[in-house]
Amino acid sequence: MESMVEMSTSPALLAPGEVRRPAWRERFSRKAWEVAESIATPLAPADYLDMFNPLRPGADLRGRVVKVTPETADAATIEIKPGADWRDHVPGQYVRVGVDVDGVRHWRAYSLTHGPRKDGLISITVKAVPGGKVSSHLVRRLSPGKIVHLEQAAGEFVLPSDLRGHKFLMVTAGSGVTPVIGMLRNLFPVTDEGVVQHQRLDVTVVHVAPSRPDSIFIRNLESLHEAGAIRLVTRYTGSEGRLDVDTLNELVPDLKERRAYACGPAGLLDTLQAWYDAEGLPLQTEQFRLATVVTGEGGTVAFTGKTVDAPGDRPILDAAEDAGVLMPSGCRMGICFGCVLPMKEGAVRDLRNGELTVAHPGETGPEGVPIQTCISAAAGECVIDHPAS
């Protein structure tokens, strides 16, 4: 067993095919890995290696929490050392983070609040939303040393690679400031001597929040403003009222000339999008909290290739079988787990106790939420990853 560990941590084994190596070495490492597999069966060698180094190359992507810094009363910045296979990201992108809350794995997307850093850490800033299981856990309970699950950075909410000749507008609301902070930090690195301005850029940031103390990163924005790097316009809705497009036009006279980015809650984004569409101008938006899954009694279940109507008082298994879908099944009473299928999105109700299971696209694991179809009734529009025939 020890020799297995030794063999498989050698880089030759862990990145097969990625580095050009002599053919014999290639063959040798493949054989060695096969040996490791045959001595670890029925587990995989990775299961044992993860005990020693969950961040090693070749492991499922994870990260170790290094530091948790409070930003406001209900927000914190979390610095994470990502696993060896983390590919760099572009400022403005987000990362999906998987964390166990009350023993259950949850996934959420958070903006990376830095560009690539010298120390190799990544950081996210999380605001605990009222009733938010995951965000509250991250802000209040996560401690350094904890392992979290990660996916590679993703997202189109990024600046163009060539910044010359552009004027920018960034509208941020609430925690929607986070991806913008990631962009700004990368554009204007803060050193001991102050803000470094590599290039003269024309950036206006309109930040909307209930009040100044409620604003994450407000100090960063203000210091960038004082240093002349950006023009900051704040709108505190608690005292100044909601931001509408007319007000925005007043606050930013050259609105139409600016390349626009907006990140915040759905209401604001929808209003802005409608205005930009009417003007025929592009708007880059980012919204994390996807529209909530509407739950009710009964609904539809979409299989790959067929959608089935499913009443609220019948198991999905029965409804699907009646509609001619070939379903895996077993005891038909909820004990054998032979009928489990992954629900990608939607909501189902456990017919035994009425409990709801909800799959938010983007907030559950990449493989969806496994549900027992024999005791689950549809409670909304569900998507199940299973071929209809």
Partner 1 sequence: MTIAPDAPAYTGPIAHLTREDVEQLGRELDAIRQEVIDTRGERDAAYIHKVIKVQRSLELGSRAVLLASIFPPAFVVGTVGLSIAKILDNMEIGHNIMHGQWDWMRDPKIHSTVWEWDNASTAEGWKHSHNELHHTYTNIVGKDNDLGWGIMRVDEEQPWTPSSLFQPAMNFINMCIFEYGIAAYDLELGRVLRQKKKGRRPSAEWEMAAKKTVAKIRRQAFKDYVAHPLLSMIALSGPTTLVANLTANFVRNVWTHSVIMCGHFPEGVETFELKDIPEDEGRGDWYVRQMLGSANISGSKLLHIMTGNLSHQIEHHIFPDLPSNRYAEIAPKVRALFDKYGLNYHTAPMPQQVASAWHKVLRLSLPNGFMESTNVRNAPSQLGKLVKAVRGDNRTRRRILKEFEAAGAASIGTAV
CB of 295 to partner 1, least distance (A): 19
Q: Out of 1, 23, 278, 291, point to the residue binding partner 1 (CB under 8 A).
A: 1
Closest to 214 (Cα-Cα) out of 184, 183, 244, 173: 173
DSSP string, 155-198: -S----S--TT-EEEEEEEGGGHHHHHHHHHHHS-EETTEE--S
Looking at 20-28, 210-218, 272-280, 363-371, which segment touches partner 1 (CB under 8 A)? 363-371
As beta bridge partners, residue 377 has 349
Peptide bond into 42 cis (omega under 30): yes
Q: Nearer to partner 1 by C-beta: 102 or 250?
A: 102
Q: Out of 331, 356, 385, 387, point to the residue binding partner 1 (CB under 8 A).
A: 331
Q: Out of 58, 132, 330, 362, point to the residue binding partner 1 (CB under 8 A).
A: 330
With left for phi above 0 and alpha for psi between -120 and 50, is residue 25 left, alpha or beta?
Answer: alpha
With left for phi above 0 and alpha for psi between -120 and 50, is residue 22 left, alpha or beta?
Answer: beta
Instruction: State whether residue 10 is helix, strand or coil.
Output: coil
Q: Out of 294, 326, 333, 356, point to the residue binding partner 1 (CB under 8 A).
A: 333
**What mask, x for binding partner 1 by CB under 8 A, covers residues 17 to 56?**
------------------x--xx-xxx---xx--x-----
Counting contacts by CB under 8 A, is residue 387 touching partner 1?
A: no
Looking at 1-9, 110-118, 242-250, 309-317, which segment touches partner 1 (CB under 8 A)? 1-9
Counting contacts by CB under 8 A, is residue 297 touching partner 1?
A: no
Q: How many CB atoms lie within 10 A of CB 26?
A: 15
Residue that is written with structure tokens 């035994």 in the block? 352
d(CA 339, CA 350) in angstroms, rounded, equals 14
d(CA 205, CA 135) in angstroms, rounded, equals 25
**What mask, x for binding partner 1 by CB under 8 A, covers residues 91 to 130?**
---------x-xxxxx------------------------
CB of 374 to partner 1, least distance (A): 11
The contacts of residue 384 (CB under 8 Å, 6+ apart) are 301, 302, 303, 316, 341, 342, 343, 344, 346, 371, 373
**What is the size of the binding site for partner 1 (CB under 8 A)?**
36
Counting contacts by CB under 8 A, is residue 352 touching partner 1?
A: yes
Q: Nearer to partner 1 by C-beta: 5 or 121?
A: 5
| Interacting residues with partner 1 (CB under 8 A) | 1-3, 35, 38-39, 41-43, 47-48, 51, 100, 102-106, 330-331, 333-338, 340, 352-353, 355, 364-365, 367, 369-370, 372
